[in-house]
């Protein structure tokens, strides 16, 4: 049992009151990052991350985000919660309110309380949480496109959680069925760039979901399977910049043709746990640019 302690919180004066004035992200220091269990195809306890390189990559990502004009906040990690370094999953945050995650895997469940404690301490209001024992929700399955929330289900999040999310945020939720266990969260195959364009790997979804997304997105930027497996869609957009862990020449040219600057930030140690750049950053106002 993990108890939430104030030492794990980094208070920022009413962060929620300022979410509309620029991009803000919560990161979690990798002090206890490791691969100590295997809950996705990328994790292998025999391929452990290097602590020194992890800190260097984490700091490099923080600087890349801030270099693009974002503001970052850092939460301390907790011993025994080796995946806590991926705070995108702990909640869905929008308009100064948040819906707490309900993790499917026991190894990650304690993270939600630490995330909720940070958010409430910093002025965010918690919405009615999921109570259905059979319902699960992870923030990596939820993104915003235009006026809708786009949400994945199949591996970590249940379809029933989408219905609850639509009700508490009073928003349309477009449900996407995930079918590739390597791309187990939606943010590994879908990255909205603006109100018209999104990076996507439609092969990760079932046929009905592919049609739904292609109808929704006027200018789809479809990546290859190889690009998807390089975590190209698991990226963070800040204005006309996209921070990525890797970018092929073809994808870079397609982005640049749309007026988007690519900023590459290497996070190879974190990929060993199956987490990319979007996984490492909790968006404190989902849907803002």
**Residue 91, domain CATH:** 3.75.10.10
pLDDT in tens, the chain (289 residues): 454 443 333 344 456 555 444 899 999 999 999 999 999 999 999 999 999 999 999 999 999 999 999 999 999 999 999 999 999 999 999 999 999 999 999 999 999 999 999 999 999 999 999 999 999 999 999 999 999 999 999 999 999 999 999 999 999 999 999 999 999 999 999 999 999 999 999 999 999 999 999 999 999 999 999 999 999 999 999 999 999 999 999 999 999 999 999 999 999 999 999 999 999 999 999 987 6
Mark whether 247 is an active-site residue.
no
Residue 13 lies in a domain: no
Dihedral in degrees, nearest 10, Cα atoms 51, 57, 60, 66: -100
Domain count, the chain: 1
Residue 225 lies in a domain: yes
Residue 137 lies in a domain: yes
Helices (H) and strands (E) in the chain, counts: 7, 15
Structural domain boundaries, residue 201: 21-33+70-229+278-283
The terminus-to-terminus CA distance of the chain in angstroms comes to 38
Residue 255 lies in a domain: no
Residue 128 lies in a domain: yes
Residue 264 lies in a domain: no
Cβ-based neighbours of 238, under 8 Å, separated by 6 or more: 23, 65, 68, 69, 70, 289
Q: Which of 32, 185, 191, 247 is catalytic?
A: 185
Residue 102 lies in a domain: yes
Mark whether 279 is an active-site residue.
yes
Inter-residue contact 187 to 234 (CB < 8 Å): yes
């Amino acid at each position: 049992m993990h108890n939430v302690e104030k030492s794990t919180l980094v208070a920022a004066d009413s962060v929620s009151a300022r979410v509309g004035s620029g991009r803000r992200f919560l990161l979690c220091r990798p002090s206890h990052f490791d691969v100590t269990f295997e809950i996705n195809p990328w994790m292998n306890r025999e391929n452990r991350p290097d602590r020194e390189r992890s800190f260097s990559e984490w700091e490099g990502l923080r600087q890349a985000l801030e270099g693009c004009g974002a503001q970052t906040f850092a939460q301390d990690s907790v011993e025994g919660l080796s995946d806590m370094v991926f705070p995108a999953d702990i909640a869905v945050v929008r308009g100064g309110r948040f819906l707490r995650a309900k993790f499917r895997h026991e190894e990650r469940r304690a993270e939600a309380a630490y995330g909720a404690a940070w958010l409430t301490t910093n002025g965010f209001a918690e919405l009615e949480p999921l109570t259905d024992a059979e319902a699960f929700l992870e923030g990596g399955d939820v993104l915003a496109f235009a006026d809708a929330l786009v949400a994945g289900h199949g591996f970590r999040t249940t379809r029933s959680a989408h219905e609850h999310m639509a009700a508490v945020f009073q928003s349309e939720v477009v449900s996407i069925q995930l079918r590739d266990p390597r791309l187990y969260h939606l943010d590994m195959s879908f990255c909205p760039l603006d109100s018209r364009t999104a990076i996507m790997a439609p092969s990760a979804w079932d046929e009905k979901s592919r049609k739904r997304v292609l109808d929704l997105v006027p200018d789809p930027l479809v990546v290859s399977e190889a690009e998807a497996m390089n975590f190209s869609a698991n990226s963070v957009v800040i204005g006309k910049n996209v921070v990525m862990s890797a970018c092929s020449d073809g994808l870079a040219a397609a982005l640049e043709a749309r007026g988007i600057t690519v900023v590459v930030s290497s996070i190879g140690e974190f990929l060993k746990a199956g987490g990319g750049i979007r996984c490492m950053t909790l968006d404190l106002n989902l849907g803002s640019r």
